[in-house]
Structure 1
Amino acid sequence: MDGSNMKMMKNLKMKLVVLCVVVGVMGIIMAGVAEGEDCERDLRGLQIECLVFMHKGNAPIQDPNDRCCNEIKLANVPCVCSKLSRHLVIPPNETIEDLLDWPKVLHCFNFCGKPLAPGFKCGNFTVPPGPPPK
């Protein structure tokens, strides 16, 4: 190979390396977008199907229904937990976490077969050691 062919080959290799890096970075970015969208879907699903079983109030702890359990089983819990400090429009100045009764949350997750491990941090709440609430 003469000098110009060697130079062309080096140039082509460099372009291929750059292309691979760009494709890899785009894949990482797109995976993050898809994960974020999944997390939002999980959060909405839990709010719609489970909040009635997990909200603060005078209602006693209840077993969640199948729709709520399905949402719990599918949810990316660490991602959802990272979103609990989001402020709501109604009620104003409150967060999602402000609406939750943690013994009820723990009961729902346990009942649905996806218990939260002692020490697990979800929003500002840390799952205590010991047996789940009854």
Structure 2
Amino acid sequence: MASSSFHFLSLAMLVIVSTLWVEYAGVSAQCELSIPRLVSQCSEYVRVSGPEIPPSKDCCNVVQNLDIPCLCKYVTPQVEQLVSMEKVVFVAKSCGLTVQPGTKCGSFVVPPLA
């Protein structure tokens, strides 16, 4: 049952992100984004439900090629219903990216370094 919930959530996330991709023509090119790879490798680490867990090597391989500030410009309230921006920042940092404090991603603002 948990597996089917995960697959449903992954599909829902893919639909949301794909909708964003269509709504904002050129987002994929502007942000150097591979939406299918991002969803398939990282969705379980950034979904709103569930604990914060370190990302896999495959997820990091995708994330390390992303322009996080660019992507953050396109985060809508609909995306935030499924994707935790706090977890996105956690995953990015876990994968070795620097996410500047004060960066706005949807309604989330990256907090100052502790």
* Global fold match (TM > 0.5): yes
Q: CA shift at 1:39, angstroms?
A: 4.2
What CA RMSD, in Å, does the superposition of the two structures yield over aligned residues?
2.4
Aligned structure 1 segments of 4 or more residues deviating by more than 4 angstroms: none
SS at match of 2:48: coil
User: Unaligned 5+ residue runs, structure 2?
Assistant: 1-24
Q: CA shift at 1:72, angstroms?
A: 1.1
Maintained 8 Å contact 1:43/1:80: no
Match of 1:126 in 2: 109
Maintained 8 Å contact 1:54/1:108: yes
1:42 to 20, 29, 33: 33
Deviations for 1:3-22, whole angstroms, at most 9, x for unmatched residues? xxxxxxxxxxxxxxxxxxxx
SS at match of 2:93: helix
Measure the CA separation in 1 of the matches of 2:70 and 2:86: 20
Provide the aligned length of Structure 1 versus Structure 2.
89
Q: Which has the higher contact order (CA 8 A, sep 6+)?
A: 2
Percentage identity across paired residues of the two chains? 28
Measure the CA separation in 2 of the matches of 1:79 and 1:119: 14
1:113 to 76, 96, 103: 96
1:23-102 mapped onto 2 (5 Å cutoff):
36-39=27-30, 42=33, 44=35, 45-57=37-49, 59-85=50-76, 95-102=78-85
Maintained 8 Å contact 1:53/1:104: yes
Match of 1:16 in 2: none
